Amino acid sequence: MLKFSLVMTAAWLGISVCQASATLAYTVQQTDAGTKFVMVEGTFEFSDDLTQLRDLLIREHPSFIGFDSPGGNVAKAIELGRMIRSFGLMTFQVRKAECASACSLAFLGGTARSAEPGSIGVHKSSFSDPQGMHVDDAVSAVQQTTAEIIGYMSEMGVDPGLLQLSLSYDSNDIRYLSGSEMRRFRVTTQDTPVRVAEKAPDARPAVSAPQPGQAVKALPSLNVPIARDGIVRHPKGVAPLKATESVDAKTVSQFGNGTKVDILDGRGDWYRVSSGGRVGYLHYTWVRVAQFEEGEGDGRYVQVKSFSSLNEATAFAHRSSVPLAVHLAANGWFAVTLKDVYAAQEAKDVAGALKAHGVIAKDSIVTLGNTYVRKVCCD
């Protein structure tokens, strides 16, 4: 019998598993103020027919959906979440009930979402196949479901960066989210269950002008420092040192990632560099400049757009349904990326899923961000 674990980007990938012992049940309840809501209880199973819930929603006209579930089948949880969204319902979660693993996906379907701190649980799941599924088939299934989860989260307005947090917790453990984490990843749109959910879901606090003596946030520096030295960072691990500033020029040497170089001159998109007695040209996207402020490391950005104007870039970022960041680039333009930085394969998976669901442009790219000078928006 084949058993294995796949370290993956999906937090709730419980597609594995043995048959659950419980099915979903739905009960109509009321708050102290007389507001009607539906509690969804039990384990999500692939065989669950949601027609009963649909009929109940049509008949009872509840305002909210709550949960008491340890999780279960991912596809069914997503199906239920989309049903909640189609009915325009809000979701809430209290700590005395449970909403963990796949249940958290169903919770995300709410048009407005409120939860007590510690009431929503996520983790990394294992994939166990008692029927002896081939490893390649299992990997393919994991990747497909991961893409579906990322797309669903973006569709619901949730930060896909939540996946990275969940990877820190094994399938036999659960990470219950704090209130600040729920807000950060857009798991919640409101703080307190039920009571505030009765307010209009799109209500926003008024923004007032700064008062005398109130600190005003400083504008980011748009100065691009002179590139003097750096290290090689190439997606293939090795960068070709060219005889002239052209990709078609003769390769005179190879510099592996991490090689320190002195930058003698900048010519368009090329740096004239020196290292270990060898002199030649490296494309500016292959060198991480020490004078730039963006973090080092091997993480990947997903760049979705670029603008010549900071105002245009920040306006685009603020309109987006997914969290974005804006970076000043070495050429003076502004690169707009997904807010989080990913491992190489994870970045490809995230970008592919968001492209497939129309969340980001088809020409979005995965990049090391070597040309990014500093982040100038948006926290």
Asked whether residue 32 falls in the same domain as residue 164, the answer is yes
Q: Among 220, 240, 223, which Cα is nearest to 313's?
A: 220
Residue 128 belongs to some domain of the structure: yes
Closest by CA to 38, choosing from 48, 24, 49, is: 24
Task: Determine the pLDDT at residue 117.
Answer: 92
Tell me whether residue 305 is in a domain.
yes
Assess whether 155 and 78 both reside in one domain. Answer: yes
| Residues 34 and 141 placed together within one structural domain of the fold | yes
Per-chain mean pLDDT for the chain: 81
Say yes or no to pLDDT of 205 above 90. no
Q: Based on the domain organization, do 135 and 275 belong to the same domain? A: no
From 289, 324, 357, the end of a domain falls on: 289
344 located within any domain: yes
Pair (154, 283) in one structural domain? no
Are 107 and 167 in a shared domain? yes
| The pLDDT value given to residue 116 | 92
Residues 48, 104 within the same domain? yes
Which of the listed residues 244, 263, 289 is the one where a domain comes to its end? 289
Can you give the CATH number for the domain in which 279 is found?
2.30.30.40
Is the pLDDT assigned to residue 1 strictly greater than 50? no
pLDDT above 80 (res 292): yes
Q: Indicate whether 235 belongs to any domain.
A: yes
Domain identity same for 112 and 250: no
The predicted structure's pLDDT at residue 137: 57
Assess if residue 319 is contained within a domain: yes
Give the domain range for residue 32: 25-198
Number of domains composing the chain = 3
Q: What is the pLDDT of residue 22?
A: 46
In this prediction, residue 193 has a pLDDT band, given cuts at 50, 70 and 90, of low
Q: 272 with 131, same domain?
A: no
**Same-domain check for residues 373 and 272:** no
Please give the Cα distance from 370 to 174 (Å, whole number): 36
Amino acid type, 322: V
Q: 135-179, pLDDT tens digit by residue?
A: 555 556 666 777 788 888 888 888 877 766 666 666 566 788 999
- Per DSSP (E only), the strands in the chain are 25-30, 36-41, 64-68, 90-93, 99-100, 113-115, 120-122, 175-176, 229-232, 238-242, 251-256, 260-267, 270-275, 278-283, 287-289, 301-307, 324-329, 334-338, 365-367, 372-377
- Domain limit, last residue, from 179, 198, 217: 198
CATH number where 117 lies: 3.90.226.10
In tens, the pLDDT along 50-85 reads 999 999 999 999 999 999 999 888 889 999 999 999
Question: Do 311 and 276 belong together in one domain?
Answer: no
Q: Band of the pLDDT at 249, cuts 50, 70, 90?
A: very high
Residue 47 shares a structural domain with residue 167: yes
Report if residue 215 sits inside a domain: no
Q: Is the pLDDT score of 2 beyond 70? A: no
Which band of pLDDT confidence, cut at 50, 70 and 90, is reported for residue 371?
very high
Task: Assess if residue 7 is contained within a domain.
Answer: no
- Report the percent of the chain where pLDDT is more than 70: 78
With respect to residue 214, please indicate whether it lies within any of the assigned structural domains: no
Q: Which residues make beta-bridge pairs with 366?
A: 302
